[in-house]
Amino acid sequence: MSLNPLLAPITSLLDYAAIRPEHIETAIPELIEQARAAVEQVANSTEPPSWETIVDPLEDASERLWRAWSVAGHLNGVLNTAEIRSAYNACLPAITAYSTWVGLHKGLYAQYRRLRESATFHALSPARQRIVELALRDFRLSGVELEGEARQRYTEISDEAAQVSQKFSENALDAVDQWQLFIDDERRLEGIPADVLNAAQRSAQEAGLSGWKLTLKMPCYLPVMQHARNRELREQMYRGYATIASDQGDTRFDNSANIERLLALRAEEAALLGFASFADMRLETRMADSPQQVLEFLRQLAAKARPHGERDLAALREFARDQLGMEDLQPWDVAFVSERLRESRYAYSEEEVRQYFTEPKVLQGLFDVVGRLFNVSLHKIDTPTWHESVRVYDVRNDQGASLGTLYMDLYARQGKQSGAWVDSERSRRRTPGGLQTPVVYLTCNFSQPHEDRPSLLTHDDVITLFHESGHALHALLSQVDDPAASPFASVEWDAIELPSQFMENFCWEWSVIQSLSAHVDTGEPLPRPLYDKMLAARNFQSGMQMLRQIEFALFDMLIHHRDTGLSIAAVLDTLEDVRREVAVLLPPSWHRFPHNFSHLFAGGYGAGYYSYKWAEVLSADAYAAFEEAAVTAEDGTRDTLDPVTGRRFLEEILAVGGIRSAAESFQAFRGREPTMDALLRHSGMTEEVTAG
């Protein structure tokens, strides 16, 4: 029995508490060596081609490697100590080299081609046939047909791109972790919620100082921007956040050169593979057909959203001038003025709402929703984790059988990447030895509970939790028996947000809100009058918000739809051009948003950020099926938690993973192709609303 937890059998849950940085550095090389040997054995086999002689042996060898590497990457994101970072970075070149080597392996490619051309192929299930077809496509996109210098250069690009992306990520994390603002004059903190100030005071005490320590982590930054009455303080915080990891902030962490290098490497990689641009290459594996189609889609949405965005900004400026005496609305005023306008127009504040969403009650409500929709339950289990605040749940069907394991890491802390995301440690797989169930991570950055006070969530936090739960359910409720067709492995990137954005809709339903809310002091659920105000405000500034997402997506597509890289000046010029085209409020010239845009430069969203809007069309249309099936009670309340429609959504979307195209899955669920109608209606952008 190995003493290295990362070498435990794939079927067992890992002992996260026992994992040390040195375990990463010893396990990864050993597992790479085993996987390489398996690849060579399959590639040199002279047996008749079959699933059992080609695909299964590779899966056996590679799944332990990718499980260990997923764990290393996860710990690097949620527990980023100097030792873990060092171990991760030490192994990154070897992992990148292995992955590139497999993609370029002509012998392995030849075996997959043999299988595709054999009579055995036609006896495979449709899901397995699709896996073979996708593998052949991915081989071609991995440069397997390259020769000589081009082949060598492709390997070098893959290695360098992985390291530059990792450095981008580290700079963004370090820039946030290192930034701090100590305040010793309590008058400067007027308006900031008490629990935020208490946390800031504790942070200062931990640093051995009196007063308050403010940071750029969301549980601190956002409430300060929304509620601090001191305009100078808001500007200071805004400048800190807007210049993360750039030449305008702490230049030790400047990501300018990393952005330039990544864009150059991506353009060169695309050219080597015969594509006009990195965007063209990426869209080979997407629902969208071409960059032109994506740009047209985004500009079509922008045209519909712009009048609403202009109206939102005009209302904000008018309120700032007439009610707050601000003649010149600045970007660092927007969150503060928006919150005052919301309070004035709808007579409530986010802080008031937050008192009703205690994290334990929200989790219980989320589990109830999942149970009603998909007939599954979550049961807390006791197993070692990487941090004391992490909780683990066994997900079970109505017969009590385990479907998978969910790790939830919900609180912000030092050394943890900001944002919210879902990833998986292992996928569902059926083997002769039995069924291996998925293991999934759900990560957020909510405020921490303190003593007997639970973490309080904003309604946006609740929406974030439901969003990430959609991703988690996609993996946990999959019925796909082959990992290569699992949701995260083969669902098109521009459809991967469908389940997550779909789940957000339930956060606006009265019946669901009642199950999610209990006042932190009284235990009372959210009152109906307050809910009605929230609902009336649901599309508050929806025009500005949609334009902001379109701005990000257009910027992403335009910097990647080129045959060469870009200087950082040209990157910023492109962003400026995009803003002139779609934005209604321009930030200052020193704003450096791209330098912290980890989705593009340290995640998988390069030339893919449009996916959020693309999938939002799908998710809104899918949710419309639940609206159509909703039962309306005598008091006019509707219940969209329809188990019959939920079962169809499970069977046609969640359970099938990537065994067919996302377009086919959507049509199977909805009976037709998607339309924009539901998205525009949900966003308050129908003609009727406009006319009103």
What is the b/e burial string over 289-319, where b = at least 16 CB atoms within 10 angstroms of the residue's CB? Answer: eebeebbebbeebbebbbebbeebbeebbeb
Q: Which of 468, 497, 551, 616 is catalytic?
A: 468
Distance CA 203, CA 391 (A): 24
Measured on CA atoms in the order 291, 294, 296, 298, is the torsion positive or negative? Answer: negative
Measured on CA atoms in the order 294, 661, 601, 77, is the torsion positive or negative? Answer: positive
Distance CA 265, CA 278 (A): 9
Distance CA 294, CA 417 (A): 30
Q: Are 259 and 592 contacting, i.e. CB atoms less than 8 angstroms apart?
A: no
Phi, psi of 532 (to 5 degrees): -60, -35
The torsion region of residue 274 among left (phi > 0), alpha (psi -120 to 50) and beta comes to left
Please count the CA atoms within 13 angstroms of the CA of 667 that sit on its side-chain side: 7
Measured on CA atoms in the order 345, 346, 350, 351, is the torsion positive or negative? Answer: positive
Cα 419 to the center of its chain, rounded Å: 8
Q: Are 574 and 567 contacting, i.e. CB atoms less than 8 angstroms apart?
A: no
468 is catalytic: yes
Q: Are 348 and 534 contacting, i.e. CB atoms less than 8 angstroms apart?
A: yes
Block residue for tokens 């060898």: 61
Tokens of 558: 């335009």
| 216: nearest Cα among 207, 229, 206, 203 | 203
- Residue 645 CB partners (closer than 8 Å, separation 6+): 625, 626, 629
By DSSP bridging, strand 376-381 and strand 212-214 are unpaired
Block residue for tokens 């219940």: 639
What is the b/e burial string over 241-261, where b = at least 16 CB atoms within 10 angstroms of the residue's CB? Answer: bbbbbbebbbeebbbbebbbb
Q: Please provide the DSSP assignment of 76-113 as one string.
A: HHHS--HHHHHHHHHHHHHHHHHHHHHHT-HHHHHHHH
Catalytic sites, residue numbers: 468
